[in-house]
A and B are shown apart, each in its own frame.
Chain A
Amino acid sequence: MKRAIPVLALSVAGLVPVWLYSPGPAHEGEINEAAAAPEAQAQTQTQTQTPAAPKTTGSAPKTTGSTPAPQQQQQAQTRTVSGPAVNTSEGTVQVQVTFQGTKITDVKALRAPNSNPTRMALPLLRESALKAQSADIDTVSGATATSEGYKQSLQAAIDGAR
């Protein structure tokens, strides 16, 4: 089942553009809000920052005194569409897909029979080649776990350490 959810999710994700750009009237009944008319989809645009993924018992614990959420840039063309609930032998699966323009940028499982928290979100990762750059920066992330490592690190240069 572990593999079935991502596969199913991606299959459903692949179907969503078909519903989105279907010129005909929306289907009634068998498909939920994912197949709603374009005007209805437009209304969902503002909800993209808080996808309605259900919490499981294993959700990550918050530590005390955390800082406010960082500001995320949202592009104007973002919209979120929920797919139909699909019954499988293991339970019901439903995914939510986020588009930027016509590009899928995120897929989340709204309902998944496996309660393991690591299976709740199914984000799409971008793949690219590793690049090197020597840009102007304020600080460096990357373990300088020893004092010796620190002396030779970019962070030491930024700190002005001797």
Chain B
Amino acid sequence: MRRVEHIMGLPISVDLRDGDAALAERAFAWLREADDRFSPFKPDSEVSRLDRGELTREELTPDLVEVLSLCDWYEESTGGAFTATVPGRGLDPCAVVKGWAVQRAADILREGGATTYCVNAGGDVVTAGEPEPGKPWRVGVRHPDIADQVCVVLGVRDGAVATSALYERGQHILDGRTGRPVAGILSVTIFAEDLAIADTTATAAFALGRDGIEWAAAQEDCEVFIVDEDRRVFSSPGLPVHIC
């Protein structure tokens, strides 16, 4: 079965090959719950209440503690280029919440007995199993200049692929060190075993600009495919490129 729903401002598609509608609904219900609890745009969310000082760090749920510890780790590792605390906007852990929540939605499918699925949340992907015997999921990476073409195809069984890129007007990633939009790279794709890691690494690398190329490649258990402003591609040897 296949289903698309808009949650967290994203189109989220679930392509579930061996599960029923009730299982998919559990995954979507979790994503709606995550949006309610962790959105900085909802006044009653745990994140908003923490930001207003109504909760202390000791009173947080383990889920939010996990999200914030991921934020802290990437902020430290990038020297502040990646940050969950944007000046003038308060606490905004969205960059981590998205990948983390979608990975957990995929885990709900797996724990519910599904073995073969592909979840795509606004271009960030978690896959499991093989859509056809002996064949991996073919995950195309959108070409940074040509919207209806891809620039590489990855062959993924159990894994996650996230891309951080600039191609839609009004969309931007700020360098937390300067507060200004980043320049230097057009598109960062990360392949990892977990979408929380893949997505946050992609966003953080993008925020670092050109320095993000080497930084991302040095992250443990992450394979990279990065396009810079000069349309040069940097890819790591372990990237699972699918030969069509």
Contacts and interface: CB of A to CB of B under 8 A. Distances in A.
B46 interface: no
A142 B110 contact: no
11 contacts: A65-B111, A69-B221, A70-B159, A127-B232, A137-B140, A141-B139, A142-B165, A143-B168, A145-B168, A150-B122, A155-B123
Interface in A52-67: 58-67
Contact of B168 (A69, A149, A158): A149
Nearest to A58: B77
Interface centre among B141, B142, B157, B187 (most CB of A within 10 A): B142
B142 A67 contact: no
* 9 A-B pairs with the lowest CB-CB distances in the bound complex, closest first: A142-B142, A137-B140, A150-B11, A70-B159, A65-B107, A130-B231, A105-B237, A132-B149, A125-B234
A130 B232 contact: yes
B66 interface: yes
Interface in A133-149: 133-149
Interface residues of B, number: 88
Interface in A34-85: 58-73
Nearest to B13: A159
Given A136-B138, A142-B141, A159-B4, A61 B69 contact: yes
Interface in B142-190: 142-154, 156-159, 161-165, 167-168, 171, 187, 189
Contacts of A89: none
A32 interface: no
A128 B13 contact: no
- SS class of chain A's interface: helix, strand, loop or mixed? loop
Interface residues of A, number: 62
Interface of A: 58-73, 100, 105-106, 117-150, 152-156, 158-161
Given A63-B196, A132-B143, A143-B163, 15 more contacts: A61-B69, A61-B70, A63-B197, A67-B107, A127-B233, A129-B233, A134-B148, A135-B153, A139-B118, A139-B127, A142-B142, A143-B164, A147-B6, A156-B11, A161-B4
Contacts of A128: 232-233, 235
B158 A70 contact: yes
Contacts of B156: 70
Interface stretch (B19-27, B31-39, B82-90, B212-220): B212-220
A140 B142 contact: yes
B18 interface: no
Nearest to A60: B220
B218 A123 contact: yes
Interface centre among B103, B123, B139 (most CB of A within 10 A): B123
Nearest to A68: B158
Contacts of A146: 9, 168, 171
A143 B238 CA distance: 23
Interface centre among B104, B122, B124, B227 (most CB of A within 10 A): B122
Nearest to A140: B140
Contacts of A63: 66, 70, 100, 103, 194, 196-197
